[in-house]
Amino acid sequence: MISDIIEKHSPPGYSVRSELNTLYAGLGLSLFFSLGFFAKYFASLNALYDIDEGKRFLRENVKCEDFADILGIYLTGFIFTAVVMLFFMLARYLYTQTASKSIYTLRRLPEKGIEFRYFILMPITYAIISLLAGFLVLTVYFAIYMLATPNECITAAQWYKIWRL
């Protein structure tokens, strides 16, 4: 069904499978790379505690590293995927120039915005999906940080500090 919708917005005969495979792979790898956040976060979390006779104690006046600092580059995979997906605009255009000049047929269609529909719309949609996925992961990781970190160890304005980057 997804393929049908994409094909309707692609030059006839163009293989949308390669686009979807790239998107899925990009999202998967981005998610996998983002898991590095947890390694850094748990290290920061552990640094809040002292261990005495096998028991963990929260150190006094200690602050957890800011969420933004822990997050670092772990979500850049989603941005990279979004950029890569934009290159499919070029791939789609080149498809209509190789083997035949089907671009001539597309340009003769009696509808406005044909080039946007066939070349631009889906790659931009993929890029937006990737960025939204990144934002979703950001939100989940932020919620985990806020819930799992002791309140007294969290400095103010964590959410705003992300965007200050």
Partner 1 sequence: MLRIENLLKTYGGKTALKDVSLEIPRGEIIGLFGENGAGKTTLMKCILGFVRYSGEITLDGDCINTKNIASISYATCEHSFFPDISATAHRDFYEEHFPAFNRRRFEGLMDFFDLPRHKVLRTFSTGQKNQFEVILALSQGADYILMDEPFAGNDIFNREDFYKVLLGILEPHETVILSTHLIEEVSGFIGRAILIRKGRIIGDVTVDELDEQQKTLVSYIKETYDYRGDRVSKALNDITGEEE
**46 vs 105, beta carbon nearer partner 1:** 105
CA distance 49 to 55: 10
Cβ contact 31:40 at 8 Å: no
CB of 22 to partner 1, least distance (A): 19
**99 vs 165, beta carbon nearer partner 1:** 99
CB of 114 to partner 1, least distance (A): 8
CB of 113 to partner 1, least distance (A): 9
Q: From 11, 13, 22, select the one nearest 126 (Cα to Cα).
A: 22
**14 vs 37, beta carbon nearer partner 1:** 14
- Which residue ranges make up the site for partner 1 (CB under 8 A)? 11-15, 99-105, 107-112
Q: How far is CA 9 from CA 18, 86, 123, in A?
A: 15, 15, 10
| Token digits of residue 24 | 């899925």
